[in-house]
C-alpha cells in the first residue's frame, strides 16, 4: 500500500465511522457479510492467522473484497478496537475499492480480494 493510498484510506475509514456505515466486532462483521450487506471488509494484518482465515473464507464465499491493512491502522484510523471493519455496501465501500483498485485480484471462486 502506498503512502497516498494509506492516507486516503484513513480518511475514508473515519468518514465511514462517522456516517455509521461501518460495523465492528466479530459477530457484527460476520452477520453483515453473510446477510449480503458488506461492500468491503477491512482486515488488520495483526489479527491471528486463524482469525484472518475465518474472515477470508466467509468473504470468499460471499464474494466480498478484503483489504488487508497494516498492523494497527484500523484502530489508529477509527479509534475502535478490533481486527476487522465491515463497510456497508454503498458509496464508501465503492470509494475504498477504487482507492485500492491497483491491488485487487479475483479469487478462483469468483470473489474479489485485495492483497
Centroid of chain to Cα 72: 14
Residue 110 confidence (pLDDT): 47
Per-residue pLDDT of the chain in tens (115 residues, 90 and over written 9): 788 888 999 999 999 999 999 999 999 999 999 999 999 999 999 999 999 999 999 999 999 999 999 999 999 999 998 899 999 999 999 999 998 875 554 444 444 545 4
C-beta atoms surrounding 38 within 10 Å:
25
Nearest-CA neighbor of 55 among 45, 99, 11?
45
Residue 112 confidence (pLDDT): 53
User: Can you tell me the distance from the alpha carbon of 106 to that of 15, in angstroms, rounded to the nearest whole number?
Assistant: 27
Q: What is the DSSP string of 30-88?
A: HHHHHTT-EEEEEEETTS-HHHHHHHHHHHHHHT--EEEEPTTHHHHHHS--SSEEEEE
- Name the pTM for this structure: 0.86
Amino acid at each position: 500500500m502506498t503512502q497516498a493510498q494509506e492516507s486516503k484510506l484513513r480518511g475514508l475509514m473515519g468518514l465511514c465511522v462517522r456516517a455509521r456505515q461501518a460495523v465492528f466486532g466479530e459477530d457484527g462483521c460476520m452477520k453483515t457479510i453473510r446477510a449480503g450487506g458488506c461492500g468491503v471488509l477491512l482486515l488488520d494484518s495483526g489479527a491471528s492467522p486463524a482469525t484472518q482465515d475465518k474472515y477470508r473464507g466467509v468473504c470468499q464465499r460471499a464474494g466480498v473484497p478484503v483489504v488487508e491493512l497494516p498492523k494497527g491502522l484500523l484502530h489508529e484510523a477509527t479509534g475502535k478496537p478490533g481486527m476487522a471493519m465491515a463497510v456497508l455496501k454503498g458509496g464508501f465501500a465503492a470509494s475504498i475499492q477504487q482507492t485500492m483498485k491497483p491491488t485487487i485480484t479475483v479469487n478462483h471462486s469468483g470473489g474479489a480480494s485485495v492483497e
